[in-house]
Amino acid sequence: MPSDPTILAFDTSAAHCAAALLRGTEIVALQSERMRRGQAERLMPLLEDVLAEAGCGWRDLDAIGVGVGPGNFTGIRISVSAARGLALGLAVPAVGVTGFDALKFLNPTRIPAIPAPREQVYVQMPDTEPNLTNRDQAIAMGPLYSCDDPALLVRAIARIAANRWMDAPAPPAPCYVRPADAAPSSDIPPALLDG
């Protein structure tokens, strides 16, 4: 059991792609890019850049930390599937960290609030399940804390994962607060002809 674990953390749950490498208690490499699309194509090269910046290889990792949302459905699936695949391939644990946990880590005295589509907000009051509410109702709940800096969020994910990696019970799973808003196509499928 290493005394100074090396944790690779990443997050694509919003309009960004961010990664940090934590060695012991120090963030030794960090990169974040704002992007509305393209996280699936950018994530692995970004992780390789972070590892190279720190002079570290994949086999040097003790654990993976990953942001599991809530947020963008596709972005969450990208990070979670990458974390699960890396953990399996490297035989290291993967730790899922919710955006609420990251925000509480950054500001424990306020209510974590994550922007959602259509003027809504994901919030989690102490000792309750997360929920989706409109902005005015969220403001009425008390002092909110939100962070739109992906570098700060991925640092928090790395530090939380460092505290949990030895006890990671199961592979990370997405944190969805609301159902997907994608709908099946309304186009009539083409008729299939038997031969």
**Partners of residue 17 on adjacent β-strands:** 33
pLDDT above 70 for 182: no
Residue 20 lies in a domain: yes
User: What share of the chain has pLDDT > 70, as a percent?
Assistant: 90
pLDDT above 90 for 41: yes
Q: Which residues contact 92 (CB under 8 A, 6 or more apart)?
A: 61, 62, 63, 64, 86
Residue 193's pLDDT is what? Answer: 66
Side chain identity at residue 105, one-letter code: F
Average pLDDT over the chain, rounded to an integer:
92
Residue 118 lies in a domain: no
Residue 181's pLDDT is what? Answer: 61
Residue 102's pLDDT is what? Answer: 98
Residue 174 lies in a domain: no
pLDDT above 70 for 114: yes
Residue 106 lies in a domain: no
Count CB neighbours of 121 within 10 A. Answer: 22
Residue 35 lies in a domain: yes
pLDDT above 90 for 93: yes
Q: Which domain holds residue 31?
A: 6-98+149-167
Residue 84 lies in a domain: yes
More confident residue, 42 or 167: 42
Number of domains in the chain: 1
Residue 185's pLDDT is what? Answer: 64
Residue 182 lies in a domain: no
What is the DSSP track for the chain? Answer: --SS-EEEEEE-SSSEEEEEEEETTEEEEEEEEE-SS-HHHHHHHHHHHHHHHTT--GGG-SEEEEE--SS-HHHHHHHHHHHHHHHHHHT--EEEE-HHHHHHHH-TTSEEEEEETTTEEEE--TTS--EEEEHHHHHHTS-EE----HHHHHHHHHHHHHHHGGG--S------SS--------SPPPPPPP-
Residue 194's pLDDT is what? Answer: 65
Q: How far apart are the C-alpha atoms of 131 and 49, rounded to whole Å?
A: 36
User: Residue 88's pLDDT band (boundaries 50, 70, 90)?
Assistant: very high
Nearest to 130 by CA among 94, 86, 174, 169: 174
User: Residue 170's pLDDT band (boundaries 50, 70, 90)?
Assistant: confident
Looking up residue 66, the CATH number of its domain turns out to be 3.30.420.40
Residue 195's pLDDT is what? Answer: 56
Instruction: Please give the model's pTM, rounded to 2 decimal places.
Output: 0.90
pLDDT above 60 for 60: yes
For the record, the structure tokens of 34 come out as: 């704002």
pLDDT digits (tens, 9 = 90+) for 9-34: 999 999 999 999 999 999 999 999 99
Residue 63 lies in a domain: yes
More confident residue, 147 or 192: 147
Nearest to 131 by CA among 178, 184, 180: 178
